[in-house]
Amino acid sequence: MKRKKLLALLVSAVTVMSALAGCGSNASSSTATDTAPAAETKTESTEAATEEAAEPAESSEPVTLRFSWWGGDARHEATLAVIDAYQKLHPNVTIEPEYSSYDGYSEKKTTEFASGTAPDIFQIETGLGPEYYNQGVLYNLTEGGMDFSEFDANFLVQNGQFGSGSQYAMPTGQAGTALIVNKDLADAVGIDLSKPYTWDQFFEWGKMVRDYDKDCYLLSANTSYATAFILRAWCRQMNGKPIVDADMNLNMTEEQFKEAFEFIKRLYDEEVCAPAAYKAPFGDQDQEDPNWIAGKYVASIGYTSSADVLSAANDSINYMAGQLPLRDGGVSDGWFNDCPQYIGVYAKSEHPKEAIDFLNFFFNSDEAAAILGTVRSVPPTVKAQVICAENGVLNPLTKESVTVSMQYNGQSDGGPTTGSEVTAILTDAYENVAYGTLSPEEAAAETMELLQDYVDTHK
Amino acid sequence: MLLLQVYPFITSFYYSLTDYNALAEPHFSGLSNYVRLFTKDKEFFKSLAATLKYTVYTVPFKIIMSLFIAMLLNNSRKGIGALRTIYYLPSLFGGSMAVSILWKIMFMDDGMINAFLHKFGFETISFLGNPATALPTLSSLEVWQFGSSMVMFLAALKQVPSSLYEAAKIDGAGKVRSFFSITIPQISPIIFFCIIMQTINALQNFTSAFVVTQGGPVKSTYMLGLKLYNDGFLYYKMGYASATSWVIFGLVLVFTVTLFGTSKFWVFYGDED
Amino acid sequence: MDKKTKKKIRSIVSYLVLVVIGIIMIYPLIWMFFASFKTNEEIYGSIALLPSSYSFEAFRNGWNAIGGNTYAVFFKNSFLLVIPTTILTVVSSTLVAYGFARFNFRGKKLAFSLLLSTLMLPNAILIIPRYSIFRSLNVLDGYGPFYLMAAFACYPFFTYMLVQFMRGLPRELDESAYIDGCGTFRTLIQILLPLLKPAMFSAGLFQFLWTYNDYFNSLIYINTVKKFTVSLALRLSLDSETIVVWKNVMAMSCLAVLPVVVLFFFCQKYFVEGIATSGLKG
């Protein structure tokens, strides 16, 4: 009897499974056939649609959109308020907010993409933008009739087009590299970071700080930010190209890597940076380092968006946004300004038009700009920046650091170089050199091998 | 159950033979993932070593500690209920953010562990910052949360008939002897179970490395569980990650089969003659 | 020294050992509790246990999370998720375990190895296939996946655990029950279950705790914040680019653990009662 039952169970399971498999394939084929003509009609009607795009969708049929993002309390609150405001204007649209911290956020997106259940609108980590674009999960916003008139056209080309000529993701703000300087300590030691300077000068200052006080260091550098803002910038200054470009070319030689890692080794040997082992427990949270709180670093390097948190760690200190180090005879200054994250529309969204209408409100309306303030860094449009400044919500230090980072004219590294895998390879090499577990030669050889392999498998 | 357990199980094996990236349809690629894992991926062996070390650091301590404490707690003295709760308390927090912050603060250079060591004239140790000490520090977190096996041992100890102890007492057996000749054999199915489960958990460990160290420094705590997670969800190499998990599966299998093989010599079941 | 004083000394010593180790074990948690009263600067900058001032601000602020959802909602959600899951798990695992422990059927070995095998594969890799099943069943963005998994004994850990405990019980028990005319089901209910109480309570406790603390599965299956559980809510505001008020996090973590502490404290008498009092012969 038991056996029969087992058999029955098996049979039913198999039936269910095949039914499921059938379902899956049916669903995917039907969506495929659905979207093809839809896309065609869309391109035809784009011109007509652009004029109406700012208007609410004609039909008042109830529509539900899912919008997901990550962030902290302030960002959650402001975004929810914008959703509320939009819903008041468009009573037929319900926007389901899905917000969380960044822990597990992109993993969840991966799972949802795999099953075709991603939200209609979602926030995207800058480094992952190109990856998402390549996988085809992003909706073409240009074709969808998004209004870009408030944006600087060059800024859009650099952020969210991924070389396609169409906008696939909206940059949520302006961000770049920031050197947040403890002005009190810098003045005491006699370091002036407000004028352009070179790396050589940087090393000298490092020594001055150590001579001034044995407990102090010039730079609080955690390995993940240092990889992005010291190693990558240094390479960029040397040869002017991203380490891996969009066509999957590896633009560094082993010799160049060796030179780069020798430079990194010097940073630690000459005690310009605090020891890597000391910094490790704090991850990329420099503001939690007791020595930063106690004001024992002259500067910390990171994103412009961290200016807020870094200066809040100890508000009895005066801070400023420092200039960034340059290379003597470098081909490029290497420093660039991009965006802290993107917001995009899911390619399989059932209501792309409504989603884009919401994004128009989110990015272009005065009301949204006033509510959002700087919860996603300095806003991407001049109009919104003016509104923020009028409302006094723009943190002066953040603004100052964005201004500093915008005076450089390096090209964004955005692409495979900032993707998670290349970043992991570079960070690992950086750590090994910083800890001295690998010599610069060994690290260069290993990095070359791994990157070559990455490039080969992704070509 | 077949659908929910076996289907994902088989699917993951199929993925391990493909170039599945979680976003596009998988393409069959034979054993290439496995070949790559064993021949090209240096990180794999590093991760494997870290995983095995972690298992060796945690499992024995956890088992011995929880058995020892369970023995002491297995009575009905006054206040024992509160004590039991105290011992279980650390496990109740699981892998929460608060615990991860706690561990970092305790073990940082200016943290309380170092402050304590300074009193005895020790130098500062960067517990979580030094590749040599990070893994043991992480292991201490795992051992600290020994509560679940303790609870199982408590439950098992309760199943031992008190008549056995009385009989042994009449025979003149001491405490130590009755521990080895009665307690251990009587609860051996549960000891066996705990060893297997703790080992499986340790070999698959993901949470503690993920929340406390993210695998660093210098990948010294980059265990296989974390590696396959990153490979699959961050680098979109789901097929490759599946292959890694099937290697873990193999490891666990070898271990379990070996342990099952030895079990007939020391595990005593009440349903056997 | 007579036997009695010797025994007394021994008991005091073991008591002392327990208390001392207990204090070491729990010290970090006491620290965590007091951290709920400290500023970020104090948490990272000082190793003192006691805060410089006491205010329950963190508990108040932490409780009122974002978007009109308070922890009252999150606690309610957690219980909605955890209680049915726990009950379903214990029931289904006990039944399956009974089958494995007491019956011989063809393919038992194979089925048992399969059961064990599914334990050996890391969970991360099963997420995507499982998620796609639940999508087909239309139970996403809710607690359905958890209920289903529990109802179909998809937590082999518990099945295996209960098998082990059942195998520790002598078979003569069942046999004498059969002789007394009990059916298989009644044997399970009337004879085995009372003896399995400690094991079932620990299984229930574990499932309660693990589901309660689970972050990743909950994150994957639950979308809307209105349905968030406590474990998801605890990380809601952790963002590296905004200022995290750690004392709120600490305060809520301490609060979050309370239900499980209470549960454990009151359940433990079921571990204490056990076979020892039931007069079973070895």
Query: Is B98 touching C (CB cutoff 8 A)?
Result: yes
pLDDT at C279: 37
CA–CA distances in Å: residue B184 to residues A90, A265, B149, B157, B173: 70, 55, 15, 9, 15
d(CA A245, CA A259) in angstroms, rounded, equals: 20
Under the banding of pLDDT at 50, 70 and 90, the label for residue B236 is confident
pLDDT at B2: 67
d(CA A108, CA A111) in angstroms, rounded, equals: 5
Q: Is the pLDDT of residue A249 over 60?
A: yes
C121 and C93 inside one domain: yes
Q: Which chains touch A (3 or more CB pairs under 8 A)?
A: B, C
Closest alpha carbon within chain A to C39 = A313
Query: Of the spans A42-51, A70-79, C56-65, which averages the highest pLDDT?
Result: A70-79
CB contact under 8 A, B190 and C165: yes
DSSP one-letter code for A247:
T
d(CA A31, CA C109) in angstroms, rounded, equals: 44
CB contact under 8 A, C45 and A74: no
C120 and C10 inside one domain: no
d(CA A126, CA A170) in angstroms, rounded, equals: 10
C75 and C17 inside one domain: no
pLDDT at A412: 80
Taking contacts as CB-CB distances below 8 angstroms, the residues of chain B near A105 are none
C85 and C4 inside one domain: no
C41 and C117 inside one domain: no
CB contact under 8 A, C239 and A70: yes
Tokens for C35, please give them: 């951290």
Under the banding of pLDDT at 50, 70 and 90, the label for residue B179 is confident
C151 and C42 inside one domain: no
pTM above 0.90, yes or no: no
d(CA C108, CA C105) in angstroms, rounded, equals: 5
d(CA A191, CA B44) in angstroms, rounded, equals: 45
CA–CA distances in Å: residue A371 to residues A73, A375, A385: 14, 9, 12
Q: Is the pLDDT of residue A23 over 50?
A: no
SS (H, E, C) C127-144: HHHHHHHHHHCCCCCCCH
C40 lies in which domain range? 1-55
Decide if C238 is inside a domain.
Answer: yes
How high is the mean pLDDT of chain A?
Answer: 85
Under the banding of pLDDT at 50, 70 and 90, the label for residue A364 is very high
Decide if C28 is inside a domain.
Answer: yes
Query: Which is it for the CA torsion C103, C108, C114, C119, positive or negative?
Result: positive
User: Do residues A169 and A342 lie in contact, with contact meaning Cβ atoms separated by under 8 Å?
Assistant: yes
Chain A neighbours among C 119-148 (CB < 8 Å)?
A: 127-128, 131-133, 135-136, 140
Decide if C251 is inside a domain.
Answer: no
Closest alpha carbon within chain B to C248 = B98
CATH number for region A175-338+419-458: 3.40.190.10
> Which of A28, A100, A113 to probe the B interface (max B CBs under 10 A)?
A113
Closest alpha carbon within chain B to C265 = B85
Closest alpha carbon within chain A to C103 = A2
d(CA B217, CA A165) in angstroms, rounded, equals: 41
Q: Distance between alpha carbon B182 and the CA centroid of its chain, in Å?
A: 27
Of all residues in chain A, the percent with pLDDT exceeding 70 is 87
Map out the domains of chain A as residue ranges.
58-173+339-396, 175-338+419-458
C144 and C73 inside one domain: yes
Taking contacts as CB-CB distances below 8 angstroms, the residues of chain A near B131 are 435, 437
Decide if C255 is inside a domain.
Answer: no
Under the banding of pLDDT at 50, 70 and 90, the label for residue B57 is very high
Q: Which of C17, C133, C264 sits opposite B85 (nearest CB)?
A: C264
Please list the pLDDT of chain C residue by residue as tens digits (282 residues): 577 788 788 788 888 888 888 888 888 889 889 988 988 888 887 778 888 888 888 888 888 877 678 899 999 999 999 999 999 999 999 999 999 988 888 888 888 888 888 888 888 888 888 898 998 888 889 999 999 999 988 888 899 889 988 887 888 888 888 888 888 888 888 888 888 888 888 899 889 999 998 888 899 999 988 899 998 988 887 776 677 888 888 898 899 989 988 888 888 777 665 444 433 433
pLDDT at B180: 87
Under the banding of pLDDT at 50, 70 and 90, the label for residue A59 is low
| Min distance B132 CA to chain C CA atoms (Å) | 23
Under the banding of pLDDT at 50, 70 and 90, the label for residue A235 is very high
C38 and C73 inside one domain: no
3-state secondary structure of A316: coil
Q: Which of C120, C238, C257 sits opposite B93 (nearest CB)?
A: C257
Interface of B to A at Cβ within 8 Å reads 2-3, 6-7, 21-24, 40, 42, 104, 107-110, 126-131, 134, 213-214, 216-219, 229-230, 232-236, 238
CA–CA distances in Å: residue A366 to residues A25, A377, A412, B168: 45, 17, 29, 85
Q: Is the pLDDT of residue A33 over 50?
A: no
Here the CATH number for the domain that contains residue C117 is: 1.10.3720.10
Q: Is the pLDDT of residue A46 over 80?
A: no
Q: What architecture does CATH give domain A58-173+339-396?
A: 3-Layer(aba) Sandwich (3.40)
Inter-axis angle of helices C127-136 and A105-115, nearest 10: 50
C80 and C20 inside one domain: no
C83 and C19 inside one domain: no
Q: Which of B24, B108, B216 sits opposite A431 (nearest CB)?
A: B216
Number of structural domains found in chain C: 2
| Min distance C234 CA to chain A CA atoms (Å) | 10
Decide if C9 is inside a domain.
Answer: yes
Tokens for A249, please give them: 């070319």
C98 and C178 inside one domain: yes
| Min distance A19 CA to chain B CA atoms (Å) | 12
Q: Which chains touch C (3 or more CB pairs under 8 A)?
A: A, B
CB contact under 8 A, A10 and B2: yes
